[in-house]
Copies of this chain bind each other. A is one copy, B any other.
């Protein structure tokens, strides 16, 4: 099925950003043994309009049937496939501070196919040991490690001041995707994908919403 239907057209970023939400919610339903769901129910639970739900899902060939709604298991599986969750991804974490440790301890990643294999840090107090049975290496060992392991994703849990340099080293080692928690906009070669989690920006969005609601 790789490279079929959904490969032919460009899907908008807004839709792509909603797909993981559908996926998460459908997985919840599956866990509760729900077999089918209407676009109306889906939309109410996710806070988007029913027509938006239908429009989104139609982009991938439309999994729904008039009067029946969507088969939860099928839809979850298909969206998972579109998101690439039928594959395994190997991940390392750069930075073994609080944030790196929080990512390392996160329960959900492994069962979604994201396997954390190692952490790296510049601080000798943090390196040499293990976190959750995952080794913590010195940042100086990065290139050697990368030459021996096929790593897809690196999570950058380091200060902004060192994020760009670390990103370039990872790119030179053939990393495919960077999950960037630093507050800078990374400059990387075009084939490397970057997903930003800009916490300060998220907080500003919240302050805007609070300000607006007080008008």
Size class of the A contact interface (CB-based, 8 Å): 35 or more
A136, chain B: closest CB distance, angstroms? 14
A209 and B109 in contact (CB under 8 A), knowing A102-B99, A198-B20, A201-B20? Answer: no
A208 and B83 in contact (CB under 8 A), knowing A112-B200, A203-B179? Answer: yes
Interface of A is mostly: helix
Residues of A within 8 A of B (CB): 2-3, 7, 14, 16-17, 19-21, 23-25, 45-47, 82-85, 87, 89, 97-99, 101-103, 105-109, 112-114, 152-153, 159, 176-177, 179, 183, 185, 191, 193, 195, 197-211, 213-215
Judge whether B85 and A200 touch: CB under 8 Å. no
Judge whether A106 and B199 touch: CB under 8 Å. yes
